[in-house]
Amino acid sequence: MPDRIRLKAFGMLAEKIGADSLEIENPGSSETLRRLLLEQFPALQPLTFRMAVDRKLIQAETDISAGQEIALLPPFSGG
């Protein structure tokens, strides 16, 4: 199985990236992923966002393994 991950983007982040889902090579960790995203999509730089790995919000740098679902989450505004 190739070392790839599925990335989902929501809300304002999907707008800035121009897609709500991407498949990319696994960067190995959440912080490396964040750095790569900010490089590739400079429009994300002023934005605040959190990440979820397999639908769980992560609080600190987290290892990412192939096949995991990573989500980029802008501040929630339900209700």
**Among the listed residues 44, 58, 36, the one whose alpha carbon sits nearest the alpha carbon of residue 9:** 44
Q: Judged by CB under 8 A, does residue 1 bind other proteins?
A: no
CA distance 73 to 15: 12
Q: Judged by CB under 8 A, does residue 11 bind other proteins?
A: yes
Q: Judged by CB under 8 A, does residue 70 bind other proteins?
A: no
The interface mask with other proteins, positions 13-52, x = CB under 8 A, is ---------------------------------------x
CA distance 77 to 5: 27
Nearest distance, CB of residue 51 and other proteins, angstroms: 11
Question: What does each C-alpha distance from 71 to 7, 49, 79 come to in angstroms?
Answer: 6, 10, 21
* Beta carbon nearer to other proteins, 3 or 56: 56
